[in-house]
Amino acid sequence: MCLQTLFVHKALFCCSLYRLTLIVSVPYQYIVELINRANRLDRGACVLCDDGGDLICCDGGCQRSFHPTEEHGEDSMCATLGMPEEQWQKHVAQGDAALYTCKNCQYKQHQCFACGLLGSSDLASGPEVFQCKHQKCGHFYHPNCVAKLLNPDSKTRAVLHVQHIAGGLEFECPVHQCKSCKEAENKDYKEMQFAVCRRCPTAYHRKCLPSDISFEESEETGNPRRAWEKILHKQILIYCMKHEIQPDLGTPMRDHIFFPDGRNPVASKRARGTPQEHDILEKDEQLDRPSSSKPSQSPQPAEIGHHRVKPIDSFAPKHLFLRPQPGSCGWLDE
């Protein structure tokens, strides 16, 4: 083999090695990115502000995610959990072993997704709210509230259903049926994917989505934007027509989440404000707390629910935050 041929062969060999390196390294990075992306997708959106980003997920069964520290909530004007940075870093460092339980799951006091009131979900001591049986649904309901929604045409059936649910019969909440065509979701077909309201049990197929629930603000009619892609995994995030959009937030009022008072979950059901540091319990401290509480008072209809404490109106002056709408973190496309 002449010197020139040898050189060419060597060059080709180096070139192939380089290509091999590329083949090995690029897919690896790509796979890692895909895994990270899937993990982030699974976390959905923060239940407080409905935006994505770095979220902490509750392992207590409610399946909700939250922006943990104030810094994480800056872009979306989120109240966040107010978790100290140090505690968040500790949580991150624990990797898959890290556990977080929200105050609702900790004290077994959950809000009914229909009327918004807090009630005991403690099956051991007379629960007032019951969780939907759907595997990926974390919503709780008063039997009365969900039975009415599931049996809109028959009061008799609704009354019977209330008794069954209160007696422990499993139920699937209205979030799993299109409000328009009554069919189920199919995430594998784009048109059959769901658009899910973040504030009430209302869902539509993409193909059934009313035109009022638009992906863009209309200059003509002044209708605000109500739908967002790419925040939830194979779903559209919407606010249905029942909720008034606040122009400064780009979302409805953020007065929808209530945590039980950690110091006295039975007696006091204060509105969720920015939790104080003492609200964020260390894991050891959480384990010392009683895991159940006495059932709280009977559910009240939303209109006369005197337990519904005054909500907070806003979290920060608008001029401090320029992109408060859901999706403004842009974390999927970045």
**Binding stretches for Zn ion (CB under 5 A):** 46, 48-49, 58, 60, 62, 67, 73, 78, 102, 105, 112, 114-115, 132, 134, 137, 139, 142, 145, 173, 175, 178, 180-181, 197, 199-200, 202, 205, 208, 240, 242
Provide the CA 263 distance to its chain's centre, in angstroms.
25
Backbone angles phi, psi at 204, to 5 degrees: -135, 150
Residue number with CB closer to Zn ion (10 or 164): 164
* Helix residue ranges, H only, the chain: 3-43, 85-93, 103-107, 143-150, 155-166, 283-288
Residue number with CB closer to Zn ion (11 or 321): 321
In order of 69, 72, 106, 260, the CA distances from 85 in angstroms are 6, 10, 22, 23
Smallest distance, Zn ion to C-beta of residue 35, A? 23
Smallest distance, Zn ion to C-beta of residue 107, A? 10
Smallest distance, Zn ion to C-beta of residue 188, A? 15
Place of tokens 């979306």: 76
Return the number of other C-beta atoms located less than 10 Å from residue 117's C-beta. 24
CA–CA gap between residue 127 and residue 82 (Å, rounded): 29
Smallest distance, Zn ion to C-beta of residue 303, A? 12
Smallest distance, Zn ion to C-beta of residue 304, A? 12
Residue number with CB closer to Zn ion (29 or 135): 135
Place of tokens 């009630």: 119
Smallest distance, Zn ion to C-beta of residue 28, A? 32
Residue number with CB closer to Zn ion (27 or 330): 330
**Among candidate residues 97, 120, 75, the one with its CA nearest the CA of residue 291:** 120
Which residues face 46 on adjacent strands? 65
Smallest distance, Zn ion to C-beta of residue 221, A? 20
Residue number with CB closer to Zn ion (89 or 180): 180
CA–CA gap between residue 81 and residue 278 (Å, rounded): 11
Q: Quick one: residue 177, left, alpha or beta (phi over 0 = left, psi -120 to 50 = alpha)? A: beta
Smallest distance, Zn ion to C-beta of residue 199, A? 5
Which residues face 118 on adjacent strands? 111
Residue number with CB closer to Zn ion (147 or 197): 197
Backbone angles phi, psi at 57, to 5 degrees: -100, 140
Residue number with CB closer to Zn ion (134 or 283): 134
Tokens of 204: 């539509």
242 residue type, one letter: K
Residue number with CB closer to Zn ion (11 or 194): 194
**Among candidate residues 62, 76, 51, 88, the one with its CA nearest the CA of residue 259:** 62
